[in-house]
Structure 1
């Protein structure tokens, strides 16, 4: 015998001559024991038919009396070699009689990695990594352990519902020894032992995992779906966000996605959710990991309300307490850029919850800048709302996981039409969707169906329904088409009913700048608590008046303490107007925001007339801008 076992590392070089006997490290398993090689065994029990010996903490077996050469007591040492390994896992050894030998201490360096465990089911393995989650179930304690290749669940049992290895904490570097099994279709290590590492071993694990995360967090290089110079300055910002999101998954931190509850918000959030889920599946052995790590929820308001943040924070703290999860990263999509978001952000700051924003609404960078870690917004690069969040997030999703590309090629066109984008690239996006079998009417119907479904879903994400409507990760194109036709038809019917009641109560005046102003009291002259909501009702009235007049049009839909604003062919700069009203109307309690041509404002009900009068004065002074007229940017289907 002249070699140390291939999967064990020698601590001390033995002499060139003489017999080697191997003293296994406590972490060695049966995988490290080879036939016809001698090992030191320590007696742990004496019975009538032989003795039981330990070769390590994980290797033990019987030396039958027929294979013994002497008599032994507990804690005596003897030299043995492997005899048999039975199908049930029982191991037997036979004693060797060696006159002279040299002892070699052997540490196992045959460490498995999480990504390869599917091929090791039924085998004993060792792996090293960082603890990313500790979940106490009614049975075992489940440690999610992250190494350089992925994340695997390691189940340790003390007794039912009792925390195993209480000294092990989140982010500890550990060495796990156990047997690979499948539980409910997922790979899991049944733990024999977990050891917290320190000093050089801990530093090595940290270094290996950090290097792997850094490499794997790198987003994919993808060509944009359409060539669009206005989009180019935003690509590096999106790459930074893609890297941050991939890193968050690799670090075992959950991601909570909040998005505006409209067509553009859904076109932004659904592709990103799908891309992240597929990335999670490539990292985690647990098939349910995506469900635990990713949550997508709509926000009805055009900002992050205290109600929403309180719910999110409460759920996050409960998940940390009950399931051992880290606190999440908040990803704001098609929302989150304004001063109105800052109270919610400051609430999250008490718990150091990171915030990432991808949005196209007019931002308040001075207000939100210090509260968010990444902020992607076309206004920050001299562009505007015409680059919709859905357009941005389709590219973001492709950077996270380019495999979704074929499923989302039509989505930017849906986003643009839903949000009335007048971008130069809309013609190219519509043509791209046409290649996938969608004409412009189809795309508009998808947008209407999304709005209609979202209205009735209220605060629910409606995962499967929304994916079928958008035809992303949908397995039945015909069902998608039937569903969209049904929902869009219902939406059209309900809009017609609403406008039949409301149009007669629309007030009209001609402003000094030549624009038509239409006002409608949606609280008293439109159906409440049904589709369409006040914002949608105002938008539909506005669209009809634009088509009817062919001139610049402004429409205000108001209630007791709010107003929804739409304009066409008039450069309103609604965020600036709202900011001015906040200062000028004393006691008005004015807040709000939006784009140049779409927005909303809130105020105290007792000051409604003063706020609306001041708002109309500003509208009368606004510049007429033909570039903002819908007829100037209409999409020609023949292009």
Structure 2
């Protein structure tokens, strides 16, 4: 706003006369201030003057010192504003004065827009998204402090400012309005900034972005020496995710559809939503930027990557979005993921993996921006992905900590982690009012709900089951009890059907081998899926025998494997079978003692026999126990 002439200090002998930018509106004119004006019309009772292209008024003949023609210049002061908005001025003729140019609006930052609703502003920024709606064109513009939607109007559905493209540095002017719980700038002009000015702005913006992307330095929830080497890797991921949000790039999150995968993905999703809310003035920004999707298979399937690519390309075409970053959680570390990753490479889509399955770094690392896995640091699957991702989420949004204290224990129990730190995680959950049985029930409820959600992320239902960002503890407890009871009932029914059909033999290494044809002796297309059915059978036999046990649940073209007390290396066995049986279509992997394998139907007996031979040669280890639940193979 223009300062009043009465604001001048007594020591100032010369008044200031303001020269308004032609685009200045009514809000730039105040009583008591002097303005340069131009005559735009002469009538019998005075002259009409412009103080800007947007603001005009009448100077009555009684308030004029001389006669004027169109185009003449004079100095005026606002006299009155009528109810209909018409302005009247009086002429002023100071003996001497100082002229001050008034820019169109105040130079502002996104952070300050909340205090400037109703005002006209200037904003410098870079365009991170362009969305053509049925009405205005929405430019998402980022400066050093945040991102704001800027609505530019043409004819309905017509692209405004077609010369402005993604990543352009722009200088825009417009009016700040409240919209959907945030603010929006209604654009009056946008100009592309080029040359040295643009380069200097990009340098400032890059420096601000690097600062804003820095993860929070949080103390780990528990002291755990084995976890420390992973912290720096997780900080790198947190930095990259925050930077991705600031750059306006969407994040597409894929996670294994089981308890640990949910305990990994939901906290990260909530943390990113909070960071988006801090950064973006658009209340719908998180909905457009973040998408969490479960994956049934224990690797990134071509079916999934094809869906993801199609979705991303459509969003780029229809909504002006950048292509996304892919975040793989509790999945994505193996050679089986490579074909899907190579497909994404055609579009330069960055990929980040946080996983605890046995990895194949030589196969995947050249295709990844970041790869966090305990095996890389000489640890193993006992550090679950959920444990890692709770710390990752806290690095992004530390105010989530109180909601997440129980989640690592749920993840550990869901994946049967026997890590030394489990006692500390259980104690931490105990402080939040959860005992071991309740935490197990949460994991079972998550598995049960996810099974029926299939490709849907579950949204608020899943957060209520996990009791993260849930506003009703009683509802959470009732929901978990209901789902866990249903899970237990259905698992028991499956066991009752399956147990009479188990094949048993004693291997040469003295381990018990149990085999179950889950295609013919378990209910299909219902809960539990073959993987969980095999796991339930295995647990029964481990408890019954108290000795080393291997369990194979097989179908026409797949087998799921569980082992306790036998030193298996399932990824290595899969690789050997692939080389020894060409044409069998062998693929698979997982953890060392828990995993899955696929093959062509015609080679089933040959592959299963070869698999059993390898298992019979494995060493026994009474202290080695499987620590994770199986993937849900359909």
**Do both share a fold (TM > 0.5)?**
yes
Counterpart selection for 2:511 from 507, 515, 530: 515
**Equivalent in the alignment of 2:368:** 372
Give the conservation status (yes or no) of the 8 Å contact 2:584–2:603. Answer: yes
Residue 45 of structure 2 corresponds to residue 65 of structure 1: no
Q: Deviations over 1:253-299 (max 9, x none)?
A: 11111100000000000000001101111111111111111110100
CA distance in 2 between partners of 1:517 and 1:45 (Å): 101
**Equivalent in the alignment of 1:219:** 215
Q: How far apart are residue 97 of structure 1 and its match?
A: 3.0
Give the conservation status (yes or no) of the 8 Å contact 1:43–1:75. Answer: yes
Once the two structures are superposed, the pairs formed by residues 89-238 of structure 1 within 5 Å of their partners are 92-98=88-94, 103=99, 105=101, 107=103, 110-238=106-234
**Equivalent in the alignment of 1:303:** 299
CA distance in 2 between partners of 1:517 and 1:114 (Å): 65
Q: SS in structure 2 opposite 1:144?
A: strand
**Equivalent in the alignment of 2:445:** 449
CA distance in 2 between partners of 1:88 and 1:148 (Å): 41
Q: Deviations over 1:310-347 (max 9, x none)?
A: 11111111111211111111111001111111111111
CA distance in 2 between partners of 1:338 and 1:453 (Å): 27
Q: How far apart are residue 126 of structure 1 and its match?
A: 1.9
Taking structure 1 as the reference length, the TM-score comes to 0.92
Unaligned runs of 5+ in 1: 7-15, 632-639
Counterpart selection for 2:277 from 268, 273, 281: 281
Q: Deviations over 1:384-417 (max 9, x none)?
A: 1111000000000000001111111110011011
CA distance in 2 between partners of 1:50 and 1:584 (Å): 102
Once the two structures are superposed, the pairs formed by residues 402-481 of structure 1 within 5 Å of their partners are 402-481=398-477
CA RMSD of aligned residues (A): 2.5
Once the two structures are superposed, the pairs formed by residues 232-381 of structure 1 within 5 Å of their partners are 232-381=228-377
| Residues 125 and 621 of structure 1, relative CA distance in 2, 3 Å threshold | same
CA distance in 2 between partners of 1:84 and 1:219 (Å): 55
| Residues 556 and 89 of structure 1, relative CA distance in 2, 3 Å threshold | farther
| Residues 474 and 96 of structure 1, relative CA distance in 2, 3 Å threshold | same
Q: How far apart are residue 621 of structure 1 and its match?
A: 1.3
Q: How far apart are residue 91 of structure 1 and its match?
A: 5.3
Q: SS in structure 2 opposite 1:335?
A: coil
Unaligned runs of 5+ in 2: 5-11, 628-634
Q: SS in structure 2 opposite 1:337?
A: coil
**Equivalent in the alignment of 1:590:** 586
| Residues 361 and 134 of structure 1, relative CA distance in 2, 3 Å threshold | same
| Residues 128 and 44 of structure 1, relative CA distance in 2, 3 Å threshold | farther
Q: Deviations over 1:338-383 (max 9, x none)?
A: 1111111111111111111111111111111111101111111111
Give the conservation status (yes or no) of the 8 Å contact 1:265–1:334. Answer: yes
Q: SS in structure 2 opposite 1:399?
A: helix
Residue 540 of structure 2 corresponds to residue 535 of structure 1: no
| Residues 270 and 91 of structure 1, relative CA distance in 2, 3 Å threshold | farther
Give the conservation status (yes or no) of the 8 Å contact 1:5–1:32. Answer: no
**Equivalent in the alignment of 2:606:** 610
Q: SS in structure 2 opposite 1:155?
A: strand
Q: How far apart are residue 535 of structure 1 and its match?
A: 0.4
Q: SS in structure 2 opposite 1:391?
A: helix
CA distance in 1 between partners of 2:585 and 2:359 (Å): 20
CA distance in 2 between partners of 1:134 and 1:550 (Å): 63
- Matched positions, count: 619
Taking structure 2 as the reference length, the TM-score comes to 0.92
Q: SS in structure 2 opposite 1:187?
A: strand
| 100-109 vs 369-378, greater mean Cα deviation | 100-109
| Residues 35 and 420 of structure 1, relative CA distance in 2, 3 Å threshold | same
Give the conservation status (yes or no) of the 8 Å contact 1:111–1:125. Answer: yes
Give the conservation status (yes or no) of the 8 Å contact 1:61–1:93. Answer: no
CA distance in 1 between partners of 2:85 and 2:360 (Å): 66
| 23-32 vs 134-143, greater mean Cα deviation | 23-32
| Residues 181 and 106 of structure 1, relative CA distance in 2, 3 Å threshold | closer
**Equivalent in the alignment of 1:11:** none
